[in-house]
Amino acid sequence: MSSTLSKIEKRTAYTLLLPAVCLVFAIILFPIFANVWISFKEVGLKDIRIPEPRAKKIVKNIQDSNSELKIIYKLRNSSLIQDIREVRFSDKLPKNIKPVNLDKRCEFKSQKVKCFFGNWEAGYRENFEIFVKNVNNNAINSKYIKSNKPDLNGKSNNILLTTDFTLKNFKNVFINNNFFELLMTTFYFTFFGTLGAILLGIFAAQLVNQKFYGRTFMRSILLFPYVGPVVALAYTWTLLLDPNSGTINSLLVNYGVIEKPINLLGQKYLIINILGFELKLRLALTTVIFFEIWRYFPLAFLFILARLQAIPRDLYEAADVDGAGPFRKFFYITLPQITAILSILFMIRFIWNFNKFEDIFLLTGGASGTLTLPISVYQQGFAVSNIGMGSAVSIVIVLLLITFMIIYFKLIGKKANEI
């Protein structure tokens, strides 16, 4: 009895799970594996269109006779790269209308013109003509004939399904494209973005955890940068930082802080003189990191605030009795209480910042020293139009991610479940 019950339970569970699992498998897991396949191939953006035979139908009247018509089909192979084999064609004619002097490749059966065109090489074009005649010598409705669309089909190789593989993409990723610089930029961006967001999050959480007038309002607006759409926010910031007429540069020039506007998003290095030492600051990258911090500290804030509110009040009361000031209370009570959540937050945010695409893409497009791995996927795949290279970079990202996750689960996986 119990075994049948558990069987029913199992079957129910699988039925309930099936749709979700299938969808996730098709849209998330399959592409991750497909990346591996594509990354070993030499595929460009233009190769992924499957070549199709196409026909444009033009109907022309013949002078002095309205019972006869000429139909022109402008035939072509949609691809300029690949051949199509065994192209077949068929088009329906209205009743009582018959073709005259039909092409050898075609036959007329049950009011249908059927043709076999054989192989079309890449970029093939032909103007194919049929003359038709009304059997009863009545006028032909040319609009009606035009409204019928011809059917075409043919066989072609799908470049994605062939089995030619190459290691060229990976060679290019690691050797030709300044891979080390790309990696370092990604790590700078990720590390400082995460650290800054968490530090700012601690400040904000500490602030909102006190009582003051307008506290709930403050808590709402602190989340605005994260809730707002990235497109709108990124463009607003681009406008604010614009060197020609951006608000921030104009204000700084107006108050004499700087002499010339600084192109905060378009300048790779800023040279700073400190005590005779020349420091090169990655200016555009720093700006992008600041945007990143601005946009994602709300998440750190939410997490830390939730933890702060769970710290028992009597700890602070005891500290008051001992005569500890607010800074001491923070360093000796608050900080030890939130270290666990901070480490988890750091790992998770690190992984997510590592994958950030939209923010940098919208602010700089990866120019002036802000090219990170995710941007590189887009650039290789869609700007250079080399899908294979893009996939190879994706694979590098996935491998690094898996490494981070293993570290994450080894270090704090168990703690994460407790919180």
311 binds other proteins (CB under 8 A): no
Q: Which of 69, 204, 283, 360 binds other proteins (CB under 8 A)?
A: 204
Q: Kindly state the smallest distance separating residue 390's Cβ from other proteins, in Å.
A: 5
Q: Kindly state the smallest distance separating residue 237's Cβ from other proteins, in Å.
A: 6
CB 374 within 8 A of CB 25: no
Buried b (16+ CB within 10 A) or exposed e, 191-227: ebbbbbbbebbbebbbebeeeeeeeeeebeebeebbe
Site for other proteins in 362-391 (CB under 8 A): 362, 374, 377-378, 381-382, 387, 390-391
Shorter beta-carbon distance to other proteins: residue 144 or 224: 224
299 binds other proteins (CB under 8 A): yes
User: Which residues neighbour 227 within 8 Å (Cβ) at sequence distance 6 or greater?
Assistant: 298
Q: Kindly state the smallest distance separating residue 243's Cβ from other proteins, in Å.
A: 11
411 binds other proteins (CB under 8 A): no
Handedness of CA 252, 258, 261, 265 (dihedral sign): negative
Tally of CA atoms within 13 A in the half-sphere of 199 that contains its CB: 9
Query: Of the listed pieces 119-127, 164-172, 181-189, 344-352, which binds other proteins according to CB under 8 A?
Result: 344-352
CB 263 within 8 A of CB 243: yes
Q: Kindly state the smallest distance separating residue 133's Cβ from other proteins, in Å.
A: 38
317 binds other proteins (CB under 8 A): no
Helix (H) / strand (E) containing 306: helix 283-309
289 binds other proteins (CB under 8 A): no
Q: What is the DSSP letter of 117?
A: E
Site for other proteins in 112-131 (CB under 8 A): none
Cβ neighbourhood burial of 163 (10 Å; 0-12, 13-18, 19+): exposed
User: Which residues neighbour 87 within 8 Å (Cβ) at sequence distance 6 or greater?
Assistant: 53, 116, 117, 118, 119, 120, 152, 153, 154
Q: Which of 90, 142, 172, 250 binds other proteins (CB under 8 A)?
A: 250
49 binds other proteins (CB under 8 A): yes
Q: Kindly state the smallest distance separating residue 331's Cβ from other proteins, in Å.
A: 12
How do strand 106-109 and strand 112-120 relate by DSSP bridges?
antiparallel
50 binds other proteins (CB under 8 A): yes
Q: What is the 3-state secondary structure (H, E, C) of 243-272?
A: CCCCHHHHHHHHCCCCCCCCCCCCCCEEEE
Shorter beta-carbon distance to other proteins: residue 110 or 245: 245
Dist CA 244 CA 255 (whole Å): 16
Q: Kindly state the smallest distance separating residue 330's Cβ from other proteins, in Å.
A: 9
196 binds other proteins (CB under 8 A): no
Comparing CA positions, the residue from 372, 290, 305 lying closest to residue 345 is 305
Size of the site for other proteins (CB under 8 A): 95
Q: Kindly state the smallest distance separating residue 118's Cβ from other proteins, in Å.
A: 24
251 binds other proteins (CB under 8 A): yes
52 binds other proteins (CB under 8 A): no
Q: What is the DSSP letter of 324?
A: -
Q: Kindly state the smallest distance separating residue 60's Cβ from other proteins, in Å.
A: 32
Shorter beta-carbon distance to other proteins: residue 133 or 349: 349
Biggest alpha carbon distance in the chain? 113
The CA-atom distances, in angstroms, between 4 and each of 16, 192, 259, 313 are 18, 56, 82, 53
Q: Kindly state the smallest distance separating residue 20's Cβ from other proteins, in Å.
A: 4
Query: Of the listed pieces 79-87, 94-102, 170-178, 347-355, which binds other proteins according to CB under 8 A?
Result: 347-355
258 binds other proteins (CB under 8 A): no
Query: Of the listed pieces 27-35, 121-129, 149-157, 164-172, which binds other proteins according to CB under 8 A?
Result: 27-35
Site for other proteins in 150-189 (CB under 8 A): 158, 160
72 binds other proteins (CB under 8 A): no
DSSP letter string, 61-98: EETTEEEEEEEEEEEEES-SS--EEEEEEEEE--TTEE
310 binds other proteins (CB under 8 A): no
Q: Give the residue carrying structure tokens 């092409």.
A: 103
227 binds other proteins (CB under 8 A): yes
Query: Of the listed pieces 108-116, 223-231, 267-275, 278-286, which binds other proteins according to CB under 8 A?
Result: 223-231
